[in-house]
Structure 1
Amino acid sequence: MSDDPEPAENISGGVDGGGVAATFDPATADTRAEAFVDRLGERYWQKTYGGQDAFTCLVRTILSQNTSDKASQPAHDALLERYDGTEGTNRDLAEALAATERSELAETISSAGLYNQKSEMLIDAADWVLESFGSAAAFDAFVTDGDPEEVRETLLTVRGVGPKTADCVLLFSGGQPGVFPVDTHVHRIFRRLGIAPADADHETVREVVEREVPAEKCGFGHTATIQFGREYCTARKPACLEDPEACPMTDLCEQVGVYPDTGEVVDPADAPEAE
C-alpha cells in the first residue's frame, strides 16, 4: 500500500460544489483509456469536483509542486491559519499574501520544499489577482463562470503556473468537465500503458487522455490515476515487475519500459520500439 493513501474524507468538492457523478462500467467503455478509468472507478472513490475557492486552490497547487502531499499539506494549513482570516478578520487571502513579507511567508511554508521560490510565486500570484480582478472573490467568479479555454490561457500567463496547475484550478475550483491534469504519475502511466506515445510530453498526454476519456470521468480519472501510481504503478517498482497478477490493469497495459524477465524499468521514452 502507498504511504500516501486516499484521505479519510472526500475533499474534492463533491456534488454540492457543482460536480457531476459518473458511472463506471469497463465492459461498455469505448476506448482502452476509458476502460482503465472505469476499472479505477471500481477500486477508488467515484469523486465529483468543483466548489473549492479558486485562489486558495491556486495556492495549494503551487505549494504541491515538486513535493508530496505529505509535505505540502502542513505548509498549506500553516499558510491558511496565518493569512486567511480564520480568526474573524475576514481578510481577502490575496490581499494578505500581497501585503506580507516574503521571508515571513517562506518561513510559514517551509515544510513544502523550495519555499523561497514558492513564496515569491505566491506573492506574485496574489499581486496578479488583485491587479487583474480586484479580489480573490472576483478571481473565483472568473474561474467558475468563465470560458475554460480562456481561463486556462489566462492562468498560464502567471509566473509559476504551468499546465498542470492551471488544469487543477479548472477542475477543483471551476468543476469543469473534460479536464484531466497531467502530473508525473499520469504522464508515466498512460505512456506505460501504451495509450499515449512513449515519447509524449505532458501536453500530448493530456490531449490524448482528454480525447479518449469521457468528460465526466476526467476529474476522477486524474486523482485515481495518481492513487494507482502510488499503490501499483510506481516509477521504479511497478507491481507487475514481480507478479503480473498483482496489478489489476495487466490486461490493459502494454508495459512500455517495464521488463519483468530482467527486472529492468526505464522511462517509456527510453524503451526500444516494438518490432
Structure 2
Amino acid sequence: MSDEPAENISGGTAGGGSAAAFDPGDATSRVEVFIDRLGERYWQKTYGGQDAFECLVRTILSQNTSDKASQPAHDELMERYGPASQRDPDLAHALANAGQDELADAIASAGLYNQKSETIIRLAGRVVEEYGGADAFDEFVTSESPDDVRDTLLDMKGVGPKTADCVLLFAGGRDGVFPVDTHVHRIARRMGFAPPAADHEDVRQVMEAEVPASKCGFGHTAMIQFGREFCTARQPACLEGPEACPMSDLCDQVGVYPHDGDVVDPSET
C-alpha cells in the first residue's frame, strides 16, 4: 500500500488554490497535451496566497519524505510555534528563537529531523535579520521579480531549486514556475520530454518552455499525482500493458522494458 494520501496535498482539496479553467484543445506540443490530460483527470488550479515563510518551512519539511509524513510535522510545528502558541505572533521570530531539540521533536515524523530543524532555525534567523520577520519576507516574495526572489532563495543554505520554485508558486502565485521533484524528474525523462541524462534544472527548463505559464502550477501538482498512481519508480502501470496507463500513447518508455519487466533510471539506458 502507498504511503501517500489519496490526493497530493498541494493539488487536492487541502492544498488551497483556486479553480482555473483552460482549453485542452489548443495544445501545441506533446508535453502540453500530457499536461492537459492531467488537468482533465485531476484538477486545474491557480496557486498563490500561502504565507511565504510558512511555505518555505513546509517545503523544507517535505524534502525526502511523503505528504503523509510531512503534514503531521507541519501541523505540530504550527501548534507549538505558530501564532496560536502565544510564543510570538511572527512565525519567523518564534522559530529563530526555538531550541533545536524541541523543534526536532516537533517535526520528527518528517524524518531527518535534526538536519531539518537546524535548517529551519537558520532560515528563520536570516529572515528576521534581513527582512524583520515573516510579513516583510512575504511581501518580498510576492512583489519582487521572480528571478530576484529565486536567486535570493537559492542563496539561502538548505534551499534548493525545487524548494525555491515551490515558494514562488504556492506563496508568490507566479505563473510559469514548474517545480521539479523526483516524480516530475522521472516522468519527464521516461516519457521522452527531456533527455535521459537531464538533471532537475534541465527538466525544469524543458517543462517551462513547453507548457504555457498558466498551466505550470497545476501541471506540477497533477504530475506528482500521476507519478504516484501510474508512473511509479519501480512498477509503472505500463508493465501491465499499454491499456493500463492513460498516457501510453504519449510515452517513449525510456528505461522501461515491459517484455522482461525491467525498469531502470532513464540515464542508464
User: Above 0.5 in TM-score?
Assistant: yes
Matching residue of 1:65: 63
Once the two structures are TM-superposed, the CA of residue 13 in structure 1 deviates from its matched residue by 3.6
Two-structure CA RMSD over aligned residues (Å): 1.5
Distance 1:120 1:250 in 2: 43
Once the two structures are TM-superposed, the CA of residue 249 in structure 1 deviates from its matched residue by 0.3
Amino acid at match of 1:23: F
Asked if the contact 1:24/1:41 (under 8 Å) is kept, the reply is no
Amino acid at match of 2:215: K
Distance 1:166 1:267 in 2: 25
Distance 1:174 1:22 in 2: 20
Matching residue of 1:10: 13
Once the two structures are TM-superposed, the CA of residue 10 in structure 1 deviates from its matched residue by 2.5
Q: Choose which of 237, 242, 245 in structure 2 pairs with 1:244.
A: 242
Distance 1:7 1:236 in 2: 20
Matching residue of 1:262: 260
Matching residue of 1:184: 182
Asked if the contact 1:24/1:42 (under 8 Å) is kept, the reply is no
Once the two structures are TM-superposed, the CA of residue 124 in structure 1 deviates from its matched residue by 0.5
Asked if the contact 2:192/2:253 (under 8 Å) is kept, the reply is yes
Amino acid at match of 1:93: L
Asked if the contact 2:8/2:224 (under 8 Å) is kept, the reply is no
Once the two structures are TM-superposed, the CA of residue 5 in structure 1 deviates from its matched residue by 1.9
Residues 156-181 of structure 1: CA distance to partner in whole angstroms, max 9, x if unpaired?
Answer: 01111000000000000000000000
Once the two structures are TM-superposed, the CA of residue 234 in structure 1 deviates from its matched residue by 0.1
Amino acid at match of 1:5: A
Q: Structure 1: 5+ residue runs without aligned partners?
A: none
Distance 1:44 1:62, change over 3 A: same
How high is the TM-score relative to the length of structure 1?
0.93
Q: Structure 2: 5+ residue runs without aligned partners?
A: none
Matching residue of 1:102: 100
Mapping for residues 7-46 of structure 1, pairs under 5 Å: 10-15=13-18, 21-25=20-24, 27-46=25-44
Once the two structures are TM-superposed, the CA of residue 88 in structure 1 deviates from its matched residue by 5.6
Distance 1:29 1:147, change over 3 A: same
Amino acid at match of 2:112: L
Residues 129-163 of structure 1: CA distance to partner in whole angstroms, max 9, x if unpaired?
Answer: 01110110000000011100000000001111000
Once the two structures are TM-superposed, the CA of residue 47 in structure 1 deviates from its matched residue by 1.7
Distance 1:24 1:127 in 2: 44
Where 1:262 maps in the other structure, the secondary structure is coil
Once the two structures are TM-superposed, the CA of residue 6 in structure 1 deviates from its matched residue by 1.0
Once the two structures are TM-superposed, the CA of residue 87 in structure 1 deviates from its matched residue by 4.5
Matching residue of 1:54: 52
Where 2:20 maps in the other structure, the secondary structure is coil
Distance 2:99 2:207 in 1: 41
Asked if the contact 2:8/2:67 (under 8 Å) is kept, the reply is no
Distance 1:156 1:200, change over 3 A: same
Once the two structures are TM-superposed, the CA of residue 24 in structure 1 deviates from its matched residue by 4.3
Distance 1:88 1:12 in 2: 26
Distance 1:153 1:22 in 2: 31
Once the two structures are TM-superposed, the CA of residue 79 in structure 1 deviates from its matched residue by 0.1
Amino acid at match of 2:17: G
Identity of aligned residues (%): 67
Where 2:150 maps in the other structure, the secondary structure is helix
Mapping for residues 103-182 of structure 1, pairs under 5 Å: 103-182=101-180
Matching residue of 2:214: 216
Amino acid at match of 1:31: S
